[in-house]
Amino acid sequence: MLLAFLPGEASPQAASERAILTQIISGTEVEIRWSRPSLRGREVIFGRQIPWGEVWTPGANVATTIRFSKDVVLSGEPVAAGRYSVWLRVLESEPWRLALHRDTTLFHSAHPPIEDAAVSFVVERERADDLQESLAWDLDGIRIDGADLVMHWGHDRVAVPLEVDPGIVLATPRAEALPLVGDWTYDDTPSLPSPEQLERFAGQDANPTARYLEVLASEPRPRPIRIDFDDETGLVRFVDRLTEAAEAAFYSAEGEEPVVVYGQALLPRGSGFFAVAGTFGGEVSAVNPRFSPMVEFEFDDDGRAVAFTIRGPDDRVHGTGVRAGG
């Protein structure tokens, strides 16, 4: 009987256990701390346990908090770096409102007025098909310049677009991009795999690298590519059909129809200079300004790009291009 009163190593369990989510996006650290209430057989939460119109912390016990190591933008609203308590005004037939308060010591029953928040904005309540038993926070759809901040409990889901500073300019002004647009003849012979590499992977159809190299080396050089400009995103796109096909073969299982999700974009680094970045689904997904290949364009007297050279960080030439048709 005495053992029941002796201190042990195990911590006591709480009805709503504490959770911490930390994610770094392009050098910006986002940290969320919350207690995780569970449904425990309840089918309806909002409008019952949490009355309509209440300013509720999406969690339990002490208020849920979120911390940004650098300035960010949430749902179009600038938010200064720091830690905030998080609150939602829940409404039955109107959009909800998310608020960030400077006071991070509040208890869950404080229900601070939305008007006192450091920042607040409208969010859409979605009805998800999947049931989330314990309240979850997540950062989903992570990309180089942000992600979606998601709260999900039961069938209710709120997703807030989060923007961070990617540390590199992604968009090119239209006037600077248009002289690059057009069809090009591209020679990437210096960066092709060696005959020894090709021989080593020959016949290994189940090996993703073998499939990639086989497709990449399947056409003679030089070959056609295109440079396009996306007015909506401001991205200069390096459209290389063969590299896209090689990447698709790498990411597809043997016998599957390849799905092209990979691409390349050119990010402005100076007058006539661009860093090569990878894209997935049309969005910039990976770039390291220190190690990315650089593209240097040459221009004619009319300011039209007529040639380019791609070099690696060691200044080694990866490829060259000339405008098709001169």
pLDDT at 59: 95
pLDDT at 303: 97
Helix axes 241-251, 208-216, angle to 10 degrees: 160
**Local mean pLDDT, 10-residue blocks, the chain (326 residues):** 44 74 96 96 89 95 97 97 97 95 94 94 94 96 93 96 94 97 97 85 80 90 97 96 90 72 92 93 81 95 97 95 92
pTM metric for this prediction: 0.77
Domain boundary assignment for the chain: 14-163, 174-323
pLDDT at 8: 47
Q: Kindly provide the residue ranges of all beta strands, DSSP E only, lying in the chain, ordered along the sequence.
A: 17-25, 28-36, 55-56, 65-68, 72-74, 77-79, 82-89, 96-101, 119-123, 125-143, 146-163, 182-187, 223-230, 235-239, 262-270, 273-280, 283-286, 294-299, 305-311, 317-323
